[in-house]
Amino acid sequence: MAKQGGLGRLRYDTTLLKERLDNDGGIAGTLVISLDGDTFSGAVGGVLGKLSNVPAGLTASLVKTSDLTATLSFSGNATKHMTTDSLNNLGITFSNSDFTSAGKVFIYGSQRSDLEIHFNDVSLSAAGTVLTGSGRLPAALNIDLMTDTLSLNGLPTGLLSGSLIGVTDVDLSALVPTGTAKPAATITVSLKGDTANNVLSASGYGGVIEGAGGNDSITAGASVDRIKFAIDPLTNGVDAIQNFTLGKGGDILDFSAFLNKTGTSHLKAVNANSMAAVAWTNGDVLSVQGYNLTTSADIAGLFGAGMAYAAPTSAGKAVLISNGLTGDARSWYITNDGLPATLTTVDATEVQLVGTISNLNNILLVPLDAGNFA
């Protein structure tokens, strides 16, 4: 170690190094050390000093970058990089031979053991009403705008910056698995909105997206997302869903809160002009294709003798997906309450729009799959 306390001084441009925003255990940036009152010995690029308490998986490099500067950088990825793995005892020790004076000049700061490395649990930041995320996840993430809470693997965690209070929009499209290793099945994202008209964009991990109240805009991600609808139309609002993947192994529309059980035995698409009066039962999801099915009255008119669907015979609930050859599909809640006046009919007041699904059309040709519903 160089003698400390005389004519020379080392100045550290920071004492805190941080994990990269992609949350892979790598370190962002460098630490630059400037020297006053002496010069660093050796050639530019030469190794200086010794380091201690470097996290496993990282390789530290402290080299001369000029006669008056040295730079500490890191390569590799820390094998443990949760917030609890952060440290405040990274050490640097310079020896007399690291300086031209070779011990003839005392150097302040030639030994330190208080440098910090901070690891992130998750790279999330809020600015105003918008929460954004990027990088990778180490564990399952839960974001709840209704309660303004954030947790990782069931434990409370925090944001890199900002606050969840006042956030209405969440964009996790840059929060994605990277590398060749498939993420653990337990790494999912649960995202719940509040009573505002939320704009929610899913991550690349898959999980549950719940708009809660309001007329929400929901964009599914690259993995399987379950889009959860509310118990009734008033609570749900009318949600706009984008990037929904149709078919086996695709995304999921979760109507279980409304239907209690979700039946798909009558899911096969029916032509709106059909007079087959297809049977259906309480709790079913139905799909129909026709032109200009845009109002509650249009949907109510599909039920009855000589219509596409049979008239109800008892109180019951159903979800109907209507679509055309082009454009968007619509999701409707149908609640036949069993009152004598409407027991054997579906009245327009018993039909409520709860969602639109962008670019979901022509399902007579490309049908919905039972796996698209829960």
Q: What percentage of the chain exceeds 90 in pLDDT?
A: 76
d(CA 95, CA 206): 52
d(CA 370, CA 198): 28
Residues 83 and 174 in one domain: no
- Asked if residue 153 is part of any domain, the answer here is yes
**Per-residue pLDDT, 20:** 84
Name the average pLDDT for the chain. 92
Closest listed residue to residue 32, CA positions, set 88, 70, 89: 70
- Asked if residue 204 is part of any domain, the answer here is yes
Residues 95 and 13 in one domain: yes
* Confidence grade of residue 5 (pLDDT, cut at 50, 70, 90): very low
Last residue of some domain: 118, 148, 169? 118
Residues 106 and 146 in one domain: no
- Asked if residue 24 is part of any domain, the answer here is yes
- Asked if residue 132 is part of any domain, the answer here is yes
- Asked if residue 151 is part of any domain, the answer here is yes
pLDDT tens across 208-258, in order? Answer: 999 999 999 999 999 999 999 999 999 999 999 999 999 889 999 999 999
Closest listed residue to residue 72, CA positions, set 13, 130, 152: 13
Residues 113 and 127 in one domain: no
Q: Please give the tally of structural domains in the chain.
A: 3
CB atoms within 10 A of CB 314: 10
**Per-residue pLDDT, 4:** 46
Last residue of some domain: 53, 83, 118? 118
Q: What range defines the domain where residue 201 resides? A: 123-228
Residues 56 and 111 in one domain: yes
d(CA 18, CA 27): 6
Residues 63 and 85 in one domain: yes
Residues 47 and 100 in one domain: yes
Average pLDDT value for residue range 293-305: 95
Residues 39 and 141 in one domain: no
Residues 110 and 158 in one domain: no
pLDDT tens across 307-349, in order? Answer: 999 999 888 999 999 998 888 999 999 998 877 767 788 999 9
- Asked if residue 205 is part of any domain, the answer here is yes
Residues 105 and 167 in one domain: no
- Asked if residue 249 is part of any domain, the answer here is no
Residues 19 and 113 in one domain: yes
Residues 85 and 137 in one domain: no
pLDDT of 287 > 70? The answer is: yes
Last residue of some domain: 118, 142, 165? 118
pLDDT tens across 68-101, in order? Answer: 999 999 999 999 888 889 999 999 999 999 999 8
- Asked if residue 252 is part of any domain, the answer here is no
d(CA 312, CA 347): 11
